[in-house]
Amino acid sequence: MKLALFDLDNTLLNGDSDFEWSQFLIHIGVLDRELFEVKNQTFYDQYKSGTLDIHEFLDFQLKPLSRHSRKTLNDWHAQFMRERILPMMTHASLNLVQQHRNAGDLCVIITATNSFVTAPIAREFGIEHLLATEPEHIAGEFTGRVEGVPCFREGKITRLNNWLAAQGRTLDSFENSTFYSDSHNDLPLLCLVKTPVAANPDEKLRAYAQQQDWPVINLR
């Protein structure tokens, strides 16, 4: 069996679901524009530059989840999917995922964005397995805190290895392992798999991929 790993934001999606979720909450009046829009942009710029403090960001990103019921959040998310996410799902991305599914590969989305935002997106792509940053919840309601290791940078390797170990597997168990990502933040995992692919890469990843003679593709 072969393993196909997909980053989500700016890789399978033509945009960033984390950033867009906050912008959506601002748009519908849940978050105050003056207080949150600048912070949201600042964190996004830090992510792109490689200077993001993941715990500081998660405090910003997860706290709003704790202020509303799960039912209300789910209703908002359904609207978010229709208005923001579906337009970001490209034919090229959908076709790529389908090619791996048709080949019988084990397909996994592995993303730093929290699982509340990303689980419905993974289902829309037809991908059963999701490794994402997990928001803590008690009795189904979010606490505003993160649970376990954030699925970010080296944390993606930790989360992937733990998930595989629970199945009695390792990366070496697979005939091939492929990881598609757009971001230099994913270099730790890209350097670990057998087939790293730079998909819609940022400037830092593009330069590194060209230096290493990795495939570079455009899914937009």
Say which of 7, 16, 186, 202 is annotated catalytic: 7
Active site annotation includes 59: no
Measured CA to CA in angstroms, residue 51 lies from 46, 47, 125, 154, 198 at distances of: 5, 6, 30, 14, 20
Does the annotation count 75 as an active-site position?
no
> What type of residue sits at position 163?
W
Catalytic site residue from 9, 16, 105, 182:
9
Three-state SS string across 168-181, please? CCCHHHCCEEEEEE
If you count them, how many residues does the chain have? 220
* Rounded Cα–Cα distance for residues 117 and 73 (Å): 10
Do 200 and 182 touch, CB atoms closer than 8 A? yes
Which residues are annotated as catalytic? Answer: 7, 9
